[in-house]
Structures are given as C-alpha cells and as structure tokens.
Amino acid sequence: MIQAILVFNNHGKPRLVRFYQRFPEEIQQQIVRETFHLVLKRDDNICNFLEGGSLIGGSDYKLIYRHYATLYFVFCVDSSESELGILDLIQVFVETLDKCFENVCELDLIFHMDKVHYILQEVVMGGMVLETNMNEIVAQMEAQNRLEKSENFPMTLHLSTR
Amino acid sequence: MPAVSKGDGMRGLAVFISDIRNCKSKEAEIKRINKELANIRSKFKGDKALDGYSKKKYVCKLLFIFLLGHDIDFGHMEAVNLLSSNKYTEKQIGYLFISVLVNSNSELIRLINNAIKNDLASRNPTFMCLALHCIANVGSREMGEAFAADIPRILVAGDSMDSVKQSAALCLLRLYKASPDLVPMGEWTARVVHLLNDQHMGVVTAAVSLITCLCKKNPDDFKTCISLAVSRLSRIVSSASTDLQDYTYYFVPAPWLSVKLLRLLQCYPPPEDAAVKGRLVESLETVLNKAQEPPKSKKVQHSNAKNAILFETISLIIHYDSEPNLLVRACNQLGQFLQHRETNLRYLALESMCTLASSEFSHEAVKTHIDTVINALKTERDVSVRQRAADLLYAMCDRSNAKQIVSEMLRYLETADYAIREEIVLKVAILAEKYAVDYSWYVDTILNLIRIAGDYVSEEVWYRVLQIVTNRDDVQGYAAKTVFEALQAPACHENMVKVGGYILGEFGNLIAGDPRSSPPVQFSLLHSKFHLCSVATRALLLSTYIKFINLFPETKATIQGVLRAGSQLRNADVELQQRAVEYLTLSSVASTDVLATVLEEMPPFPERESSILAKLKRKKGPGAASALDDGRRDASSSDINGAVEPTPSTVSTPSPSADLLGLRAAPPPAAAPAPASAGNLLVDVFSDGPAAQPSLGPTPEEAFLSELEPPAPESPMALLADPAPAADPGPEDIGPPVPEADELLNKFVCKNNGVLFENQLLQIGVKSEFRQNLGRMYLFYGNKTSVQFQNFLPTVVHPGDLQTQLAVQTKRVAAQVDGGAQVQQVLNIECLRDFLTPPLLSVRFRYGGAPQSLTLKLPVTINKFFQPTEMAAQDFFQRWKQLSLPLQEAQKIFKANHPMDAEVTKAKLLGFGSALLDNVDPNPENFVGAGIIQTKALQVGCLLRLEPNAQAQMYRLTLRTSKESVSRHLCELLAQQF
C-alpha cells in the first residue's frame, strides 16, 4: 500500500501532498521536510529506493522517488509493493501530467493543484493503484473536462501566467 | 487541446497564488495568508449566501494554504455543501477537500455519509466513483460501518460500469484493511474471483489487489483464484509486446498486472493440479528466458518494467522453494544483476538474494557471489545498497566463510553509518559465536567490536562473551591475556573495562605467572581506569577487587587500602559505598576458607539460545525475524558451540557480584533482614526470601555476614511451609503433563541446570540448588516470539499427597512477557518427608489472543535432597549388612542406553547426589556410593552399588535404604540415567 505521495521542488517547497494514512497536519509537514532532507543529499544516479523515513511506518516502509528537472516525486510504500513497479507508476503519473497539461512544468502544479489531485485520483485511490493505462487516465480527464465545460462557469477568463 | 482546461480556472485563486509567490519573505507570506483566511472566514460566516462558484474558489484557496503547511480548521461545512451539490465540479472539489482534510467531527461525518449514500444510489457512474474514492481515501471506521455491506453488491452487480467496479474493488480493499471485521464474506467472494477473467485489465488489476489481501485470512475461500491467475499470467507473458495495446508499457505487456498476479500466487503453495503447475512453471521459465533477450528499447522504463516482473518471478520461485532448477537459474540471474550498472538492480538483487540464501537448494550457489557482495559493501556509494550487502553477507554466512565475512563486516563497521552500527555489531557478535571454531577467534572478534564500536556494543553482547568465557575453560587463559593487553591502550572503551574487569577477576590467576602481568600489575592497570568509569562499572570493578583478594592474597593489603579510602567508604553512591563496606569487612572477617568459598569461580551458565539473537529480532521487527532465524541451515551449530543463557542476575542486576552472592546464598535465609539502605545488590538477593521486608535494621555488614552463616533449618524455613498462594489452581484445573514430561524430568535427575522445555513459543530454563532438605529453583521463561504474552501465569501444583511431603513457595511473575524477553521466577522448596511424584508446573498464557497452556513435571526428585556421606570400606559393609531386609533392597538389571564410560558414570552418580566411595568394592570397575536423604520429618540413609558389565553392555544397580519406597524409587530414577 502507498502511505503517502509527496511532490516537492528542489528547495523543498511542497507542490502536491497526499496522505493515505491519517497524520496530524504538523506531522505531515514534518514528514515532508524529513523526506526532502533525505532525498536532497542523494546523488542523481544512485539507487531510487531508500529506507529510514522514521516518521512513516518504520522498517517495513520504503521511500521510492524520482527526480524530474525541478521536482522530486516521492512515494512512501510498504513491502507489499514492487519497488520497480512503483517507479513505473511514478513515470505513468508524470507522463499523464505531461499529456494533460501539454509539457507540464512546476507552475502547472502550482496553479492547478485541484487538477493535479484529480489526475492523481485516477491513478491512485486510497493508497492503492487504480489504473496504469495512460490512455484510459487521459480519457477520464477529457471526460471530466467536458463535464466541466457543460456546467458553464460563470466566469471564463484566461490566465496569462505560464 | 490539453485534457485539462487550463484557461478556465478561477481568477481569484490565481491572483491569490501569484500574491503568495511574489511575497519576498516568510513573514509577508504568513501575513498574506492570514489576511486571506480572515477574508474566507468572514465570507463563510456572512449573511449573504455564497454561490457554488465562490464556495469552490474559497475551498480551493484553503487547500492551497493547507499545502503550504498551515492548519485549516474550518471550511468543512462548505465542502459538505459542495459535495452534496448536483454539479459535478462542485461535488468533485467538495469530495477532494474532505479527503485531504479529514475531520472526525461526527455530525460532519453523518452529513458526508448521507451525501455518499445518495451518490452511490444515483446510478451515475461518475458520481458513484467520486463517492467510492472518498470512502477509500478517508477509510475511517464510521464509513466502514455505513458502507461495508453495500460495496460488495456494487462490485459484483452485472450492470456496474468497469470504472465503478475498479473503484469498488479498491474501496472494499481499503475498508477491509482498516477494519476487517466490518467486511462480511459471502456469496460475493466467488464472483470476485471470477473478476480475474474480466475483459477490462483495469478491473482485473484492482480485483487481484483485493483478492491478494482477502485470501490471506481465508485462503480456502479464494483457492480457485490460483488456476485463473495462472492462466491470466500465462496469456500475458506469452503475448507479443503489442497484443495488449493500451496496457503495454514501453513494449512490456501489462507489467503491473503481471507483478500483482505473481504476488497473489505467493499467497499459496505451488498449485496441486499438475496441468496448472506445468503451465505456471512454463510461464516462469518464459520470464527468465526473456531476461536474456536483447531489450526492445533503450529506455530505462522498458528495462524497469521487464525487471519488475523478473524480480517478482524470482520471489515466487523462492517462495515455492521446490524447483532446484528454477532456483539456480534465479540465483544466476541475480548474480548478473549484482554487477549491473543500474544501482536499483544491484539493490534489488542483493535484497532478493538474501531470501534465496536461506533455501537449501541455492545456499551454495549464493555463496559463490561472496566476493562481489564484499566488494559492494566496500565500494557502493549508496548507504541503502551497502546495508543490503551487509544483510546478505549475514544471510550467506556459514562455517566455511565465517572468518572472512566477520572480518569484512568489522572493517565496514569502522566507516558504517551511525544508524546501522548497532545492528552490524549484533550481527557480527552472532556470527562470531555461531561459527566459532576456536574460541580465541571469538574472543578477539568481540574485543575488536568493543574497540571499534564500543558505544554500539549493547549489554547483551558483552554479557555473552563473559558467559562463553566462563563456560569454556579452554579459552579462559587466552581471554585473560587478551583483555589484559587490550586494557593497556591509553583510552579504552568503558565496555572494555567491564569485560576486562570481570575476566581478570575470574581468571586473572591464569596469567599471573608472567611477571609482566603479575597480580599487582593487573590490579594497578584496572585501578588506573577506575576513576574514569561510570558507577555501574566501578561497582563491577570493586567486585573484581574482592575477587583479587581471594585469587592473589598478596594484593590484599593494597586493595583493602583502596576499599578503606574515604572516597569509597563514604561514597555518595549507595551501591558503591555498600560494596566497599561489605567487601572490606568480608576481607578482614572471613577466614581464607570462607573467602575461597564465597568468591569461588563462577559456575558455568546453563545452555540456552543467545539473547543477542532475540535482540536482533526485536530490532528488525517481526517481518524480518524469520529471515534471521538460523536454525534451518545449521541446526547443530548451537549445540556444538554451547549456547549459554544469561545468568539470573544479568536479568535483574547487571552486577556480577550480585550473582556471586546470589548463588552462594542457597538456601535462602529468609529471616535475615535486609537493610533498608541496601542497594540493589543485597535487596536482590534477599528479596527472593519470602519475608524480607524489614525496616531499618542491622547494618549492611551484619546482614551480609548472616548471609554467610549456614542456614538453620528450623527457624527460617518454617515460613516456607505456609500454603502456596491462594491463586494456585487445584490439580483438576490443569491439563495432563505434556507427553515428553517424563523424559524431560529424567534429564534433570543428575543435573540441576539446563533447559527444561522448549517449543516454538516458549523456552523454560532451570537453575537450581539444594542443600539439606531445602532448595531454591530459578525458572526462566523466555518468550521466543516477537509478540507479548499476556495473562502469563505459571503455577506449581502438588498432586495427591505431595502437599504434605513437599512445600513449594513461588513468587508471582509479571503477567506480561514482552516478545524476546525473559522473566525469572524463584521457587523456594522444602522437603517435608520422602515423596515419589514430582510437583507439576502449569504455565498458562495468551499468545496473539489464543490461550496456551502447558503442564510439565518440575525437576524436583527425592535425590535432590541427598547429602553425600563419606565412609570407610569397613563402615560401608557394616551398614550394608544392617540393611539386609528384602524390602530394604531394590535391584535392577538393565541394558546400557549410553556408551559405558567410567568418567561419565562417575559424574552422573555425583550429580545424583551420593558420595562416591573409592576402594570399597573389591572390583575397581564397580561404583559404590552413600548418602542421606534429608527431609524435615526424617532422614533416610542410602547405600548404592552399580556394577557395569562392559561385555554384555549391562548394568546391575542395587540400592539399600532404611525405607522400602525410597529404595525402589531411587533405583528407578537412577537406572534410567545410564
């Protein structure tokens, strides 16, 4: 089971935080900070798995992470998950983000936090892997988009920030 | 067009986020956030009803603020309003807010549950999925209670959409994980298994996850999943890389599902059906074959996905542990990965190989990689990988490579990360002991451990080396010499001082012949460390000093001088002061003989499992315990290497001198008052007696001396005759003794210490001593599991007439025994008159909720109360003739069950309790003994004669005593020993 999914940038600023086990808010922040310090000091070409996140779970848990440009994607999982499988899942998630946002960048995650959550919900549900087929996920997001359109926003202003 | 409409966002939200990003300082950011929070709060509280859009915007802002690390304690009600809306986008953000900011307010939960109920009933798949997501993400018990019964129905309903089925399966899984009792098994289980045949791969993936979890509890209910999983797997691995279209990931067909299927199969033993098994083995071989094919893509994703399946396949092969051919192929494949340029693969290969090492088929194959693994330990840049390498070295260690592995791990220890040092220390200590061929190597290794990582050497480790040295007289001299040399170092670790102090106190005499380590040199070396040490160590050193007085009378004056110094006699620490006072008095009052008896060398420790191993298991947690369990590979080694148990005093007080006194103090002078001011040392000894609660009494010296006086049988022991505690169950309450109880009892007829009983949960060790008609027994209950025993209740029961023959007084023990821990129980025993049957020991406790009970025979037999009697030949024959009535004699002729070795026989007879009389029997091959059985009511004189006939491999045993029943009973007991 996946206990938590953390995305933060190279400076440790959280960009997406999703816990599937209940922790008080301050512990959540502490976990994010601790995890950031653990992965920050690691070179890019060493192993993507590490133990020792003392705040979540203990010895049965591993942090599996990937570093993309300015962002770290970290999944905290227990031993029932395949390590390489989770690495693949991170890749699926990122590629899906990329398809949905067309060349995703950190700013997309900041300004469209809700959308990022919705995409993640199509991949992981309650800590379990829901769907790994990218086309299926993108199709779901397109369907959501159509629903959103049909509900007619009271305001439709374009953002200039990108 | 992107799938996400980036343009149609909420302007107010974007402006707020931009504001935050433009803040120059943390303070400015907090100020901006507080302003926004106040704004939202007032909007929510305001009179004007907010429209859906505004609510959505504010809730989104709150989510953003929460992400930045600020606690949000409001907005839940607005979120519930949103998720109850009929508009999809409002519902969606409402559910998201509730899932991220879970709140346990019950009124709120009621409202949420209501909305979920509506959505589940709506038959709108999108709404249903949102509701299922929310249940799964929150996963609370309240939600489980409300929906656990509905979800299986949705899952197997024929008209549910694929996406709903997928979500329902995972939702059910989540609820089951959170509260298994809420999910009722039923006819739906069979239909869930059939989801493995579903057309939609996403549904299959979700169903496999669910079944993998459910089948662990109810393997039989889901057994049919095996053949379905095998056929699904076989279709996937044999399909071409493009067959599964969307579920093909970088040219690998459905990697995620394959991994899940392989995990599911690991919940079961190999398939029984030959056809299914054949198909599975074929699939596993296909995966192994594909690993050797050239990659279809250079992308790392391709090799990742392929290897994810490969590693899971290897796990399944290791799990089955029955196909030597596949095991060896798996090992070779992992061997390739050990040298792979991808760090991830090296890490995983080390991890998998660790489990492979415990399979008998592949242990040797794993060992061939030792050089690569050692190299990994030395050169890997990543601590995760180095740790795996250390684990693997531990797993692959056996007698053939122990020296190499231990020395590599010692070297690694010098640079190892602090976090894992203690674990490495424990591992080295265990390997060194387990595979020690010569004990000097073992001693060197442990001393090296202390030298390199003294701070990480726990008590268990240094106790252990002392126990082993005490038990092995062939290594004592070497140990003394080595610690003496180690102590020469100008700065040596305190643990080294402890070990050195103890060993020199026991065996310093073995090196005293060398003028370089003469007694005064030894003493001044130890004493030079004294002032730098902690109280515990200084207390230990004081005990060493008093032992020196006995070992080396020439040091007496010096040591008395040290003890007499004001810094000792008036030390602020009560323990140190007391030891100084008592030892000083002991050394001046007691005669050389008494001193020699009191300060005699420690007796060997009883054998038992290493406490270090228990500690390592505790550290690693229950999951790792089995991997560390070594019995499988080298079952005989612990016997060969004489595992020993910690002394009772290492359990209660870590001071060797308490032990020294404790052992001498048998039987307990119960009335001897313990001084109220006494430190642990004496309280520990005295509190074993039943009535040791006096207040301010004699000075410590007096108490100590009364301890040394031989016990007066009448006065103190009268107390022991009191009935046992009321909680003792009657014989009818306890079960019959375990089948092997008699056999276990027999082992203890001629010895007093050892392991009385052992199964997978519990080990019971015994240490006992008897004098005249009194005895004291220590029972050690060791919890071998990692789970706490509850309601732990050992009681002693006297069946039949035994109540009037034997008084056994027990002390209560703690009702909980932690995993890996040991508790000690003290029994005071008084023999009132001769008896035939031993008392029963009933042990009851709860383990993981299940009640356990067990009844054993307590190793108290009449011969324990033997007092040996020396007599001349003439006297012997005279008494032999006096006991010539037919009923006074019991005789047995029996076949030897053990090799007929005169020395062993002698030892057994002495252990039995009688004196051995030389030059009595005209035939020197025969053994003759004499003794008196001491009971409170009467004394029974006993004479015995054992005539071995080596040619016929037979013995004739004759016993003559003044009491018929005693003659017969002793004869039976003793005859079983040869």
Using the Cβ of A161 and the Cβ atoms of chain B, whether some distance falls under 8 Å is answered with yes
Q: What is the mean pLDDT of residues B25-33?
A: 92
pLDDT higher than 50, residue B719? no
Give pLDDT, residue B936. Answer: 85
Which has more confidence, B81 or B682?
B81
In this prediction, residue A53 has a pLDDT band, given cuts at 50, 70 and 90, of: low
| Cα distance between residue B950 and residue B905, in whole Å | 13
pLDDT higher than 50, residue B730? no
**CA B33 to chain CA mean position, Å:** 51
CB neighbour burial string for A88-124, b if at least 16 within 10 angstroms, e if fewer: bbbbbbbbbbbbbbeebebebbbbbbbbbbbbbbbbb
In this prediction, residue B348 has a pLDDT band, given cuts at 50, 70 and 90, of: very high
CB contact under 8 A, A148 and B623: no
Considering chain A, what is the average pLDDT of its residues? 86
| Cα distance between residue B54 and residue B90, in whole Å | 10
CB contact under 8 A, B174 and A127: yes
Strands B939-949 and B927-934: antiparallel
| Cα distance between residue A113 and residue A120, in whole Å | 11
Option in A84, A100, A151 nearest B87 (CB) = A151
Burial class of residue A160 in the structure, from the number of CB atoms within 10 Å of its CB (0-12 exposed, 13-18 middle, 19+ buried): exposed
| Cα distance between residue B824 and residue B765, in whole Å | 9
Both tokens of B23, joined, read 């803040």
| Cα distance between residue B629 and residue B622, in whole Å | 11
Q: What is the mean pLDDT of residues B615-620?
A: 68
Percent over 70 (pLDDT), chain B: 86
Give pLDDT, residue B3. Answer: 64
Angle at B970 between CA B968 and CA B972, to 5 degrees: 70
Tell me if B206 sits within 8 A of B174, measured CB to CB.
Answer: no
Chain B positions in Cβ-Cβ contact with residue A122 (cut-off 8 Å): none
Tell me if B947 sits within 8 A of B925, measured CB to CB.
Answer: yes
Give pLDDT, residue B631. Answer: 38
* Four-residue CA torsion sign, B921, B924, B928, B929: positive
Give pLDDT, residue B353. Answer: 92
Chain A positions in Cβ-Cβ contact with residue B418 (cut-off 8 Å): none
| Cα distance between residue B967 and residue B957, in whole Å | 11
Give pLDDT, residue B417. Answer: 80
Q: Is B43 annotated as a binding residue?
A: yes
DSSP state of B7: T
Q: Which residue, B114, B246, B86, is CA-closest to B98? A: B114
Both tokens of B19, joined, read 């504001």
Using the Cβ of A8 and the Cβ atoms of chain B, whether some distance falls under 8 Å is answered with no
The long-range contacts involving B402-405, CB below 8 angstroms and separated by at least 24 positions, are B402/B431, B402/B432, B402/B434, B402/B435, B402/B436, B403/B441, B404/B370, B404/B374, B405/B370, B405/B374, B405/B431
Using the Cβ of A153 and the Cβ atoms of chain B, whether some distance falls under 8 Å is answered with yes
Q: Give the bridge partners for B939, in sequence order.
A: B934
Q: Looking at this predicted complex, what is its ipTM?
A: 0.91
Using the Cβ of A55 and the Cβ atoms of chain B, whether some distance falls under 8 Å is answered with no
Sheet holding B850-857, edge to edge: B789-797, B840-847, B850-857
DSSP state of B633: T
| Cα distance between residue B816 and residue A51, in whole Å | 32
Give pLDDT, residue A152. Answer: 57
Give pLDDT, residue B324. Answer: 87
| Amino acid symbol at B471 | N
Q: Give the least confident one: B97-106, B317-326, B512-521.
A: B97-106
Q: What is the mean pLDDT of residues B918-941?
A: 85
DSSP state of B630: -
- CA torsion angle B276 B277 B281 B284 (round to 10): 60
Q: Give the bridge partners for A62, in sequence order.
A: A77
Q: Give the bridge partners for B949, in sequence order.
A: B954
Sorted by sequence, the CB contacts under 8 Å of residue B426 that are 6+ apart come out as B458, B460, B461, B612, B615, B616, B619
Secondary structure (3-state) at B956: strand
Which residue is it, tokens 């103090």?
A: B665
Chain B positions in Cβ-Cβ contact with residue A52 (cut-off 8 Å): 419
pLDDT higher than 90, residue B935? no
For residue range B227-274, list pLDDT tens digits in order: 999 999 999 998 876 666 678 888 899 999 999 999 999 999 999 999
Alpha carbon distances (Å) from B833 to B447, B803, B805: 51, 10, 5
Using the Cβ of A114 and the Cβ atoms of chain B, whether some distance falls under 8 Å is answered with yes
pLDDT higher than 80, residue B859? yes
| Amino acid symbol at A6 | L
Tell me if B623 sits within 8 A of B629, measured CB to CB.
Answer: no
For residue range B875-915, list pLDDT tens digits in order: 888 888 888 777 788 888 888 888 888 888 888 888 888 88
Chain A positions in Cβ-Cβ contact with residue B63 (cut-off 8 Å): 113-114
Chain B positions in Cβ-Cβ contact with residue A138 (cut-off 8 Å): 3
| Amino acid symbol at B20 | I
Q: What is the mean pLDDT of residues B294-321?
A: 92
Q: To which H or E segment does residue B549 belong?
A: helix B535-551
Using the Cβ of A78 and the Cβ atoms of chain B, whether some distance falls under 8 Å is answered with no
CB contact under 8 A, A111 and B14: yes
In this prediction, residue B722 has a pLDDT band, given cuts at 50, 70 and 90, of: very low
Q: To which H or E segment does residue B754 belong?
A: strand B754-758
Give pLDDT, residue B6. Answer: 58
Strands B754-758 and B762-771: antiparallel
Give pLDDT, residue B5. Answer: 61
Q: What is the mean pLDDT of residues B951-959?
A: 87
In this prediction, residue B364 has a pLDDT band, given cuts at 50, 70 and 90, of: confident
Give pLDDT, residue B643. Answer: 41
For residue range B317-342, list pLDDT tens digits in order: 999 988 888 998 999 999 999 999 88
Q: Is B57 annotated as a binding residue?
A: yes
For residue range B425-484, list pLDDT tens digits in order: 999 999 998 888 888 899 999 999 998 888 888 888 888 889 889 888 888 999 999 999
pLDDT higher than 90, residue B922? no
Q: Give the bridge partners for B630, in sequence order.
A: none
pLDDT higher than 90, residue B565? no
Give pLDDT, residue B683. Answer: 31
| Cα distance between residue B94 and residue B59, in whole Å | 8
Question: How many beta-carbon pairs below 8 A join chains A and B?
Answer: 213
pLDDT higher than 50, residue B650? no
Give pLDDT, residue B363. Answer: 85
Which residue is it, tokens 């040596």?
A: B492
Tell me if B115 sits within 8 A of B80, measured CB to CB.
Answer: yes
Alpha carbon distances (Å) from B448 to B99, B393, B429, B975: 54, 19, 10, 49
Which residue is it, tokens 């549900």?
A: A125
- Per this entry, what is the length of chain A? 162
Considering chain B, what is the average pLDDT of its residues? 82
In this prediction, residue B209 has a pLDDT band, given cuts at 50, 70 and 90, of: very high
Return the residue of B nearest to A135 by Cα. Answer: B246
> What is the number of other CB atoms lying within 10 angstroms of the CB of residue B503?
25
Give pLDDT, residue B169. Answer: 95
| Amino acid symbol at A103 | N
Helical packing angle, B459-471 and B418-434, nearest 10°: 20
Distance to chain B for A49, nearest Cα, Å = 7
Q: Give the least confident one: A40-49, A111-120, B628-637, B919-928.
A: B628-637
Burial class of residue B344 in the structure, from the number of CB atoms within 10 Å of its CB (0-12 exposed, 13-18 middle, 19+ buried): buried
Give pLDDT, residue B9. Answer: 65
pLDDT higher than 60, residue B179? yes
| Cα distance between residue A100 and residue A95, in whole Å | 9
| Amino acid symbol at B491 | A
CB contact under 8 A, B343 and A47: yes
DSSP state of B600: P
In this prediction, residue B968 has a pLDDT band, given cuts at 50, 70 and 90, of: confident
DSSP string of B809-845? Answer: EE----S-B-TT-EEEEEEEEEE-S--SSPPEEEEEE
Give pLDDT, residue A55. Answer: 65
Q: Give the bridge partners for B894, in sequence order.
A: B955
Tell me if A17 sits within 8 A of B315, measured CB to CB.
Answer: no
Tell me if A17 sits within 8 A of A32, measured CB to CB.
Answer: yes
Option in B305, B311, B623 nearest A60 (CB) = B623
Q: Which residue, B933, B803, B778, is CA-closest to B862? A: B933
Tell me if B468 sits within 8 A of B644, measured CB to CB.
Answer: yes
Q: Which residue, B136, B154, B131, is CA-closest to B84? A: B131
| Cα distance between residue B373 and residue B356, in whole Å | 14
Tell me if B479 sits within 8 A of B507, measured CB to CB.
Answer: yes
Using the Cβ of A58 and the Cβ atoms of chain B, whether some distance falls under 8 Å is answered with yes
